[in-house]
Amino acid sequence: MRRRAFSSQAASYRLLAVYGAFLFAFLYLPLVVIAVFSFVDNDVSALPLGSFTFERYTEVVQNPAVIQALQNSIVVAVGAVIIATSFGVPGALLVDRYSFPGKHIFQKFVLLPLILPGVITGVAFQTFFQMTGIHRSLLTVTLAHGTALVSTVLTTVYARLLRLDRSPEQASLDLGVSPTKTFFLVTLPAIRTSIIAGALLAFTLSFDEIPVTTFTIGAESTLPMYIWSALRSGNQLPELNALATLIAAAGAVLVVIAALLTREESD
Amino acid sequence: MTELIPTSELPDSSDPDHLVKRSRGGFFLGAPVFLWMGLFFAIPYLLLFLQSFWEPTAFGVARDWSLDNYREVLGASQLAGDIYLPTLFKSIKIGAMVTAFSTALAFPLAYLLAFKVKRSRNRMLLYTLVVVPLWASYLLRAYAWKVILGQNGLFASMLSILGLENTFLSDLLYSEAAIVIAMTQIFTPFMVLTIYAVLERLPQNLIEASKDLGVGRLSTFRRVVLPLSLPGVVAGATFTMGLSSGDFVAPMLVGGESDVMIANQIYSQFGATNNWPLGSAIAFVLLAFVAILVWISTVAEKREQI
């Protein structure tokens, strides 16, 4: 009886493991497919596979439109991170430590861009820039991204603040250190990694953004917009596979850094 | 932002003892945030709302107030006929399918991660493996599915090599099914993370107590693990449902000509069709749907907590 129970447990564990393997295959299939097609000389991403080549990567690296779009994306993402962090961190402190009228509404309202489909935020900004007569450019994209990403930094930092041990702060205040000094010497170091993690998250989100970008951009292009319009114009350029693989690899590196940072803190 | 955040919602305010009622510090902290978010966040949404009551003209928008746009969206206008409401329902149906599939796929993996992988190094590795595709770009994953399921794509070429071009399998190409498959893959990692976050915090002794009392593993799962993990499932499902019903990127890349979703209609009203007031009204109907969704999930979560 006991033995049977044991072996059925082992069997169900094995079943779960097989299931896990299948699910990972499903999750990674698309990424593997583009990576494979980025290294062959097929004009269309279809079977049979052609012969191995690095040409797609040299094409991408030498394409001035791609380089320009990459530069624009970095400029936008850095600007967005600056905006999101400078309002997200005070916002998190505010929600964590102060009570003020309309706090519940503020808490819900700030989170809107997380739950709302991006298209709504996008057309809201398009309407705003049109009515205020602000010319659409990379600046408007940065402003829209940064404002929408305040929520991302705010949630990440707030989650850390909730778990923060308050006694060191209290000790510092009791010892007569000013609140401002306490903040910079005690609180800030304790939440530093969550700020970095939130900023990294905001960076990758902005770097990848389509829905808000389409409605706020002018004549320039960001990297996702470049891919998006190439796809929409119908010509499935083979070098897009190489570009996609490069972006995915860069994204993975950022994720691992963010994961390591947040883990260090929780230890 | 259509992208997904692991910390799904702000928990309600922390220990009230720490909350300061009024202070200069709070004012200096809060004023810039309120000013910025009010100017660049509240006002855009407000303008969008106002615009949904205005009229389109040849040159742009006339500020004549009426409910015409909403009438048109809700199918009460005889001129336009009934195209927006059915699209909304179709989008909700697709979103519901994506939510159901990704929850069903994600739960066993989250369970595996939380209870069956004992070594923390392995768990960390698997966890990171789930996170990587989540942040490996929404656009790229939708694009990859276009490569796989699109015209002249990988799947089509496999079918033609196998001589199966005209079977039911070709229905997977450029179709609603393709949209559902692509979005399921896109949202599954997010569901794994939210469910795992709850399972991880389940008190182990509760589960052991249930087993010690002679309750079988299946009933322990059904009576202890499942009910306690529902809040995470509900929170994750709400996000997945709202974001997938309102996406236009994946439908445009992997869907067929007729597979237009509600967000695509907003997109075209603010683009080619150039009827911003109507587009605003559609956007607010979609927003109302998301608001109802959030409300339902809040009520459901409160019920669970009792």
Domains and CATH numbers, chain A: 62-266 (1.10.3720.10)
A25 touches chain B (CB under 8 A): no
Nearest Cβ partner of A127 from B22, B26, B48?
Answer: B48
In chain B, % helix, strand, coil (3-state, to 5) comes to: 70, 0, 25
Residue B209 lies in a domain: yes
Q: What's residue A150's pLDDT?
A: 93
CB contacts, 8 Å: A44 with chain B: 152
User: Is B45 part of a structural domain of the chain?
Assistant: no
pLDDT for position B304: 65
Q: Does B290 touch chain A (CB under 8 A)?
A: yes
Q: Please check whether residue B214 touches A, CB under 8 A.
A: no
Chain A neighbors of B5, CB-CB under 8 A: 114, 151-152, 155-156, 201
Lowest-pLDDT range of A6-10, A126-130, A212-216, B290-294: A6-10
Any B CB within 8 A of A127 CB: yes
Q: What is the tally of structural domains in chain B?
A: 1
Answer whether residue B20 is part of any domain. no
Chain A residue numbers touching B56 (CB-CB < 8 A): none
According to the model, what pLDDT value does residue B16 have?
Answer: 47
Indicate the pLDDT class of residue A237, thresholds 50, 70 and 90.
low
The per-residue pLDDT for range A165-199, each reduced to its tens digit, is: 888 888 888 888 888 888 889 989 989 888 988 89
Residue A265: is its pLDDT beyond 60? no
Instruction: Determine contact: A240 vs chain B, CB below 8 A.
Output: yes
Structural contact between residues A122 and A212, judged by C-beta atoms closer than 8 angstroms: yes
CB contact under 8 A, A27 and B5: no
Asked if B144 lies within 8 A of A34 by C-beta distance, the reply is yes
Cis amide leading into A48 (omega within 30)? yes
Per CB-CB distance under 8 Å, the chain A contacts of B157 are 46-48
CA-based nearest distance A51→chain B, Å: 16
Domain assignment present for B117: yes
The reply to whether A54 touches chain B by the CB within 8 Å rule is no
CB nearest A247 (choices: B134, B140, B249): B140
Range of the domain at B150: 81-305
CA dist B274 and A142 (Å) reads 24
Distance, in Å, from the CA atom of B47 to the CA atom of B49, rounded to the nearest integer, reads 5
Residue B45's CB is within 10 A of a number of other CB atoms, namely 21
Which tokens belong to A208? 């990848």
Residue in chain A lying closest to B60 (CA): A130
| Residue-level pLDDT at B5 | 39
Which percentage of chain A shows pLDDT scores above 90?
25
Mapping DSSP to helix (H, G, I), strand (E, B) and coil, where does residue A76 land? helix
- Of the CA atoms within 13 Å of residue B233, those in its CB half-sphere come to 20
pLDDT of residue B2: 35
B47 touches A at CB < 8 Å: yes
| Contact A201/B at CB under 8 A | yes
Handedness of CA A162, A166, A172, A175 (dihedral sign): positive
pLDDT at A12: 73
Nearest to A31 among B18, B136, B252 (CB): B136
User: Complex ipTM above 0.90?
Assistant: no
Rounded CA Rg of chain B: 23
Spell out, as residue ranges, where chain B has pLDDT lower than 50: 1-17, 21
The alpha carbon dihedral of A46, A50, A52, A54 has a sign of negative
Higher-pLDDT residue of B152 and A267 is: B152
- CB-based contact (8 Å) between A71 and chain B? no
How far is B80 from chain A, CA to nearest CA, in Å? 22
Summarised one tens digit per residue, pLDDT across range B182-222 is 999 999 988 998 898 888 888 777 777 777 777 777 777 77
Segment A110-127 mean pLDDT: 90
CATH code for the domain of B168 = 1.10.3720.10
Within chain B, strands assigned E span 55-56, 61-62
Q: Among residues A153, A155, A166, A240, which one has the least CA distance to residue A201?
A: A153
Residue A107 in tokens: 């808490």
- What average pLDDT does range A47-75 have in this prediction? 85
Report the 10 Å Cβ neighbour count for A33.
19
Judge whether B7 lies within some domain: no
Residue B8 located in a structural domain: no
Please report residues of B whose CB lies closer than 8 A to that of A31: 133, 136, 140-141, 144
Task: Show residues of chain A in contact with B294, CB under 8 Å.
Answer: 115
Short-list B244, B283, B267, CA closest to B46? B283
